[in-house]
Amino acid sequence: MSTRLRIAIQKSGRLHDDSLKLLKDCGIDLKNGINKLKTEADNFPLEVFFLRDDDIPEYVEDAVADIGIVGENVIYEKNRAITISEKLGFGKCRLSVAVGRNEIYTGHQSLQNKKIATTYPILVERFLKEKNISAEIHEISGSVEIAPGIGLADAIVDLVSSGSTLFMNGLREVETILHSEAVLIRHPELGAGQQHLLEKLLFRIRSVRKARHTKYILLNAPNEKLKEIIALLPGMKSPTVLPLAEAGWSSVHSVVNENDFWEIIEKLKSAGAQGILVVPIEKMIL
Ligand code: PRT
Ligand code: ZN
């Protein structure tokens, strides 16, 4: 059988859709039937396993899958012998300490001798040890946010993204233990064939991710303002400048980073740029 790369992704949940979208954006078409345990790609030697996120590090460690997509929070809690290959920029959240809205909290020393409910006992234990605090960790498997309300704990440590779950349960976020996002993990020792396929996949992932943060920009500029306008547009090498049919005017093409985007647009306008078009880029190969 020819060499294939086996990837484990979440079967359902918060990372499922973005993981599939990433593969799709990398030009990988999966055969139908994503509700099954596994599927494969039509146009890339890739087999996809659908698993619970908590099991993914173990499958990769045991070489049942070569690579996987999972949150950093799961990796650090599970402590498996796997390697992080690439941050993927989605599934962002933080693992935070929260206490009752009206509780006094003056710093981590306020946790001394308290009861903390969490689904992340290993990370919490490490945090307490680092801070030299002794507290009782109460491991529960879900709905951590109700623990203080029912008298099970004085504080909780849980994942937070918008903060609305904490707010709705009368809790207040007081300290962050870990920032997390989805990452691509790999078995530490892949065969030469799998290693080669992983490099191909990583090349595509980086191109897709770079493109997501970059826009293609086209504008018209009076020639006497070109120098000033070009100085605002770094481009990949330098901007492309083409003459317009109307004498004295040029069309300038370049790429801009999404983060600098509005700032640059304003400066371009005040420098005399007109007819500014901004379009998404699908892939970006540098
Ligand atoms: O079934 P399976 O075991 O695969 O899934 P799961 O239920 O264990 O995980 P899932 O799908 O909830 O989350 C998968 C991963 O998404 C997590 O391991 C994180 O890496 C990431 N992620 C990002 C989050 C959140 N944001 C998040 N907000 N995981 C969980 N939450 C929960 C949090 O536990 C809390 O209950 O959402 C609630 C808080 O959200 P806000 O927006 O109200 O703050
Ligand atoms: Zn899970």
**In the prediction, which pLDDT does 42 show?**
94
Q: What mean pLDDT is predicted for residues 199-217?
A: 94
Beta bridge partners of 138: 117
Phi, then psi, of 267 in degrees rounded to 5? -65, -40
Distance, CA 137 to ligand 2 centroid (Å)?
20
Mutate to test the pocket of ligand 1, among 52, 96, 141, 161 (most ligand atoms within 8 A of CB): 161
Q: Which atom of ligand 1 is nearest to the CA of 71?
A: 20
**In the prediction, which pLDDT does 34 show?**
55
Distance, CA 73 to ligand 1 centroid (Å)?
10
Report whether pLDDT(236) > 80: no
Query: Residue 243 and residue 262: Cα distance in Å, rounded?
Result: 26
In terms of residues, how long is the chain? 286
E strands in 29-187: 38-40, 46-51, 67-71, 83-87, 93-100, 115-118, 136-139, 155-160, 171-180, 182-186
Q: What mean pLDDT is predicted for residues 36-45?
A: 94
Residue among 256, 260, 247, 245 at smallest CA distance from 280? 256
**In the prediction, which pLDDT does 259 show?**
84
For residues 185 and 93, is the Cβ–Cβ distance under 8 A? no
* Residue 102 DSSP one-character state: T
pTM: 0.91
**In the prediction, which pLDDT does 2 show?**
76
pLDDT in tens, 100-119: 999 999 999 999 999 999 99
Report whether pLDDT(1) > 80: no
User: Where is 256: in which H helix or E strand?
Assistant: strand 249-257
Report whether pLDDT(18) > 60: yes
Report whether pLDDT(205) > 60: yes
CB count within 10 Å of CB 55 equals: 19
Query: Residue 77 and residue 19: Cα distance in Å, rounded?
Result: 21
Q: What mean pLDDT is predicted for residues 72-88?
A: 96
Q: What mean pLDDT is predicted for residues 248-258?
A: 93
**In the prediction, which pLDDT does 197 show?**
98
Distance, CA 138 to ligand 1 centroid (Å)?
19
Q: 213: pLDDT confidence band, cut at 50, 70 and 90? A: confident
Q: 237: pLDDT confidence band, cut at 50, 70 and 90? A: confident
Q: What mean pLDDT is predicted for residues 198-207?
A: 97
Closest ligand to residue 159's CA: 1
Q: What mean pLDDT is predicted for residues 22-40?
A: 88
